[in-house]
A and B are shown apart, each in its own frame.
Chain A
Amino acid sequence: MTMHAHAPDSAPTFRAIPDRLTSPARNFLGSWEALLLLVAIAIFGANSLASPYFLDINNLSDATFNFTEKAIVALAMAFVVIAGEIDLSVGGIIAIASTAMGAAAQAGAGTAELVVVGLAVGAVCGLFNGLLVARIGLPSIVATIGTMSFYRGISYVVLGDKVYSAYPTDFAFFGQGYTWGVISFEFTSFVLLAILAGILLHRTTFGRAVRAIGNNPFAARFSGLRVERIRFIVFLMTGLAAGLASVMLTSRLGSTRPSIALGWELDIVTIVVLGGINIQGGAGTIPGVVIAALVMGLVTSGLGLLNVPGIIMSIVIGAMLICVIALPILLRRLLHKWRSA
């Protein structure tokens, strides 16, 4: 990162800066989503330049698989984080749901039953998290660190070093199937769920309540919001989303081991935070999360095409996260200095 040419717009007049803050166009340009979108476009451009294989419709379609499942969970996780909580058990939920589906498949369950089992186990796990946080009042980070090991632990006890792989052939559709041309079932579901989540967060009283709780749970309670119940619902949603991700991932892998989706919770939280959701709750948008998921997908697939080792990839993603998070904070501080000067 030693480059520092190409910056023709470095502010020429200091006094104009307060005006910029009030101009709506500038406001949009300065928004998190615009910034992310720019990063996404830049990475897309860089990928196309860097690898001759990138701009291929089949490859782009293949590349969506490496982030869609995580992105779906991230959509629900966004609600949890905006409500001022966190759910670190999602990886564990995926594992236990997958194990349950594997056991069901071995017992002869058909595809439809498997999907029901996966979603139901996810929902029950989410319900249990919600119970611990909303009813018993445990801090969510503690409760879900506990359930993270608890859920995955059950998978390990059930499976040990064995594997479930007796899935019916048409079960493969959820993780390997295509709804239209090269558009996968996974990607279609993600787009639909993103629209649903966007409406829920930005156009309903429920979404407003989630944000209110994240901003100030006491004030929210005094305003007549049923804080516990809403917390309960967001954990239930996340469990359900993890159950769905489990159906897709299990279907894509065609097998279940207890190590399935190991470490995914952090990737998912990364998408959420990169998407501009305030980690302390209260603010954030679904379009931000969607673009962040695309950015993550583009970065990993682009670096993958260049055969960049995974460890370098995690460094790049870490650096990107720090840069994107730190940038607005630094800018704000700079603005503040200029204004007070």
Chain B
Amino acid sequence: MSPLRKLVVSTALASVLMAGAAQAANVRIALVVKSLGNGFFDAAHKGADEAAKAIGGVEIIYTGPTTTTAEGQIDVINALISQKVDAIAISANDKDAVVPVLKKAMQRGIKVISWDSAVAPAGRMLHLNPSSNELIGNMCLKLAADALPGGKGDAAILSATATSTNQNTWIAEMKKQVSKYPGLNIVTTVYGDDLSDKSYRETQGLLQTHPEVKVIIAPTSVGIVAAAQAVKDAGKIGQVFVTGLGLPSEMAGAVHSGATKSFAIWNPIDLGYSAAYLADDLVKGTKAEPGAEMPIGRMGKLKLEANDEGAMADPFVYDKSNVDEFAKIF
């Protein structure tokens, strides 16, 4: 039975070797993500490590399931509870399913926060939103004004579906705040249903029916790419600009072609950084309650509102100068 022995001995040895990692730091914060192997979360991990270095004496455990399932995250959280980590900062795959296990974590003295994708209030102490609806609405208008000569001109919105909650909230915010940008005028809203081809056709239609529109705001990562392509194909680069919310990896081409001057989305590095900082705040004894202001290092302070939620910052602006660097990340 010698091959069996070999298997056993080497399995044992392999496991022992894997345990070689250091356990020196005194505060251990687990950054639990939706799934591993995702550039967005790898960038957040980078930010969390940066925060750990800035704070000192903090170790970040970056972990998550292989697929974006709640069951996988629960197994991961159970393992973290067993290790008696000090804090868990999670971007949840399912805001309800992780609640029981996170409650158990809190009962055993582990601080729990959610970031990016929220956990229901019962399962966490606070939630870090990357931004707020108000800030997103304002940022879209600001980018549109920046793209227009003198900040004056007509804008149109290319949204996702007419029923998507996020987009409708942001559009409402834009309409509310547009008075802050005199000269900027929102003439119409069209819906591309978050489908590339429909967004493309809607943009083509828009260019024909509203030739006065000089800037298209697409607060959707699918729409913004399609709109930029439509503007490029119509040969209107330099006359019509596209902006909104998009992913650097998908938008790098549009930025370089000139169809887009700048666009925005949250910066995952800042998000991971703030999440780690907040987790450490809780471990150090800061109490999370509505109205509390929690320090988040170079990002300033997080003001907690109803349900212990807080918004980190303005969406981060990407243009020619930084889009390539971030395109590698997400």
> Interface on A for B, CB 8 Å cutoff?
1-7, 9-11, 29-30, 35, 38-39, 42-43, 45-47, 49-51, 53-54, 56, 58-59, 62-63, 65-66, 163, 165, 172, 176, 249, 252-255, 257, 259-263, 300-311, 313-314, 320, 323, 327, 330-331
Contacts and interface: CB of A to CB of B under 8 A. Distances in A.
Interface residues of B, number: 45
B72 interface: yes
Given A53-B83, A253-B97, A257-B97, A310 B4 contact: no
Contacts of A51: 19, 83
User: Is the contact region of chain A dominated by helix, strand, or loop, or is it mixed?
Assistant: helix
Given A46-B11, A163-B94, A263-B67, A310 B72 contact: yes
A300 B284 CA distance: 32
Interface in B125-162: none
Contact of A6 (B9, B66, B72, B74): B9
Given A7-B6, A10-B2, A305 B82 contact: yes
B96 A306 contact: no
Interface in B64-97: 64-67, 69-72, 74-76, 78-79, 81-84, 94, 96-97
Contacts of B19: 49-51, 306
Nearest to A249: B71
Contacts of B36: 309-311
Contact of A304 (B21, B69, B75): B75
A301 B74 contact: no
Interface string B1-18: 111111111111111101
A253 B11 contact: no
A301 B79 contact: yes
A103 B4 CA distance: 50
A46 B13 CA distance: 7
B63 interface: yes
Contacts of A314: 66
Nearest to A259: B69
Which interface residue of A3, A39, A47 has the most chain B CB atoms within 10 A? A3
Nearest to B35: A310
Contacts of A2: 10
Given A254-B96, A257-B70, 14 more contacts: A3-B10, A35-B4, A38-B4, A42-B9, A43-B11, A46-B12, A53-B84, A163-B94, A253-B94, A253-B97, A254-B97, A257-B97, A304-B82, A305-B83
